[in-house]
Amino acid sequence: MIKTSRAKYKLLGVIYTWCLIVASYLEWMLKVLREAVDLGGMPEEVYTMLSKPDRILTVKIPVRMDNGKLVIFEGYRVQHNNALGPYKGGIRFHPEVTLETDIALATGMTLKNSLAGIPYGGGKGAVRCNPKQMSMRELEQLSRGYARAIAPIIGPEKDIPAPDVNTNPQIMIWMVDEFSKLKGYNVPGVFTAKPPELWGNPVRMYSTGFGAVVIAKEAAERWMDGFEGKRIAIHGFGNAGQWAAYWASKWGAKIVAISDTSGAVYDPNGIDVELAMKVKNETRKVINYPKGEKIPDPSAPLFVDCDILMPSAIENVITKENVNKVKARLIVEPANGPVTPEAEKILYQRKDFIADVPDILANAGGVVMSYLEWVENLQWYFWDEEETRQKLAAIMKRNFHKTVDGWEKLKAKHPDKLITMRDAAFVIAVDRVYRAMKLRGWI
């Protein structure tokens, strides 16, 4: 009885903490929006329009489980703003998703797509479930049920979902197939990040890490006398972290630290990235890499001696409590929100610190690649892998220099304020949506 009560209270504590995180994330997004509107000198109507989504769809998805029980899952699709084009944003399957989270994420997608310079608005979807406890059959039924439920409001010209947490190309193609059955013909452009065998593009698999390294290379060439030989530490060795390490190493940088939940590996002489990827994918633990110094603490790469730090795991890993241990002069963010606003301000007060390239710019390779895949699907014409990479790199480079130029202008406009690169990125993103809404006569 005592054990049950303790477990119950522990669970309630976890739920309460998660609710606080959700609320603070939506509040943070609205705070960022408010600051961008004010810094950019935009009218109040811009905040009024962007602080609420255009549409919220809540759906129920009945699934007959393998044990014969009928379970009703709850799902959402939030369409935030489509001034620049169709709504665009991922779908996550997670037991703790909430509508508030989805609204915040959809708002963020409007801004990320705007900064990326692609013709998309912002949206986000979610289903409250635990896919890790579901069979493939159950997962397929859930995916198809969700696609049917949101079908009336999506389409290649209306809303184009993609994968997010716990979803993948297999789930996307199930959804494409279900939507196509409803239409009576193949509609590949309704979802992106599909398998290459069915209208996808192989670059999508590594586009987030690749795009982040394109940004890091441009930053190093602009501010650090080149990229080759620069020491890079990567916190998190999932998809984004692995491919960031791969492309950085391929282009001449030296990867000195990597980590996952098993621990960290540090080698000032450079890590053999392809071997590390092989070890990680075969054993699921970076700590099994046979060379270098093994460090039990997974956060170690955040604080090693390096030139460029690429936090590629989760949010809020660099805080005001540990930021003074960061030695890197440049941070590029493949992860979402790895540096807290308080920590970021402390970083910029360091004389030797160059910039924290924000996630909204640095990890946009995934959605830019989704855009390229969508263009392929609309015209039924496909580029080869090398040509696709070149197109992705060109867009990422353009957006980096556009953001840096905007940052310089914003600092000149507000000489009495500490203006971060993130501030500039959000001002540019909001301003592009503002101008689109104004031209369309919405405000």
> For 216-236, what is each residue's pLDDT tens digit?
999 999 999 999 999 999 999
How high is the pLDDT of residue 242? 95
How high is the pLDDT of residue 271? 96
How high is the pLDDT of residue 72? 98
> For 44-81, what is each residue's pLDDT tens digit?
999 999 999 999 999 999 999 999 999 999 999 999 99
Beta-carbon contacts of residue 354 (< 8 Å; ≥ 6 apart): 219, 223, 224, 329, 330
Q: Where are the domains of the chain?
A: 2-185, 207-359
Annotated active-site residue in 124, 194, 254, 280: 124
pTM for the full predicted model: 0.89
Told to judge if 217 belongs to the known catalytic residues of this protein, a careful annotator would answer no
Specify the CATH number of the domain 2-185: 3.40.50.10860
Identical fold for domains 2-185 and 207-359, yes or no, is yes
How high is the pLDDT of residue 2? 38
CATH topology of domain 207-359: Rossmann fold (3.40.50)
> For 364-385, what is each residue's pLDDT tens digit?
999 999 999 999 999 999 999 9
How high is the pLDDT of residue 336? 82
- Could you say which residues of the chain have pLDDT below 70? 1-23
